[in-house]
Structure 1
């Protein structure tokens, strides 16, 4: 065999080996995501030992294993993933959602609490976990986020605040909680609407009175010595 032929043969063998390894890795990664969807935590350590990346993103929504576990309400898998050293708790899916944002939206207080204890970021540009909690109207999660320094008047890309989102969903208890915690009812969104404007437009009579009281209380706090 000539030297050139030998080099070509060795190169080809190397390429085939690399392709086989890549194919095996892709298969393991797919199995990893499948196990997460079905909350099969017992099979995950073996896959991790074979080199699966817990921070890799599944192709459909770009969710990491941790986000996917929240999405599928796979709490056993979620707890195991959260215990791993190096897992990215603040990774974002294609739509910008993080694990704590999705947990807030799905009202998974277990996941929210665990992520907060691990130091998950609660404030970011655009949509936040507090926005999602307000939409869901979950007072427990709203309170937990505020206790961990969530910015109460953060605005979505459309300019809506958590107060506005709770109002739109007619979540009376959440609106009252946000007002009591100091939410600013005078902020305008990108359509120059305040929370009171929205309440009047939506004809939520009880909400109109609640927001008006909030405006009065906010004004008093602003002008108190």
Structure 2
């Protein structure tokens, strides 16, 4: 029955998910990768399947074999509707992915502006440092493309109080990274925020 729920979640089969929940299927059963039905639905950005599972009590923080949870994955991928559902159903804002980063860091790196704004508003720590020695601000600069989305994210992070001088593990500041990459809009934002 648990396999049926995971299969239904993978396929986005709302009728089957509803029937499985009604029949008492184990919401926390795992597939071979350690993913729950909710994480499988989140992978596919199947909003209605995720909503059904979350409202039935599925754990939004249940991690798979590579330390992804529905909350972390939705944040990293910019699956905004599912992310908002996880935030209203007990998402652990301090939980971290396999790189030791919060949901905010990959969201910033990938240019998901609304997701970054949502995570900041939810209270995710803006200056969290992952195992690579990078914050969300550093990832937006180092791994971003310097375009309008990443510039908007840098502004959101700075406006939320991100430390413009919190350097990476090699002691290279956000401002230096932005200058080295020729990201003039980011340079200006960082300088206005007191970046050195």
CA distance in 1, matches of 2:170, 2:134: 9
Instruction: Give the counterpart of 1:193 among 162, 172, 180.
Output: 172
Instruction: Give the counterpart of 2:186 among 207, 214, 223.
Output: 207
Larger radius of gyration: 1
- Is 2:10–2:37's contact at 8 Å kept on the other side of the alignment? no
Higher RCO (CA 8 Å, separation ≥ 6 residues): 2
- Is 2:151–2:186's contact at 8 Å kept on the other side of the alignment? yes
Instruction: Give the counterpart of 1:52 among 25, 30, 35.
Output: 25
Write out aligned runs for 1:104-183 (5 A): 104-125=75-96, 126-168=100-142, 169=144, 170=146, 171-183=150-162
In structure 2, the partner of 1:79 is 51
- Is 1:101–1:132's contact at 8 Å kept on the other side of the alignment? no
In structure 2, the partner of 1:89 is 60
CA distance in 2, matches of 1:139, 1:147: 12
CA distance in 2, matches of 1:196, 1:42: 52
In structure 2, the partner of 1:30 is 3
CA distance in 2, matches of 1:184, 1:37: 40
CA displacement, residues 83-119 of structure 1 (integer Å, 9 cap, x when unaligned): 113x211111222122122111221211111111112
Pairwise CA RMSD = 1.9
Q: Structure 1 regions of 5+ residues with no counterpart?
A: 1-27, 220-225
In structure 1, the partner of 2:40 is 68
Q: Structure 2 regions of 5+ residues with no counterpart?
A: none
CA displacement, residues 148-179 of structure 1 (integer Å, 9 cap, x when unaligned): 22111001111110111111212111001111
TM-superposed CA distance for 1:124, in Å, is 2.7
CA distance in 2, matches of 1:210, 1:148: 23
- Is 1:29–1:53's contact at 8 Å kept on the other side of the alignment? yes
CA distance in 2, matches of 1:142, 1:206: 19
Helix, strand or coil at the partner of 2:194: helix
TM-score by length of 2: 0.87
TM-score by length of 1: 0.76
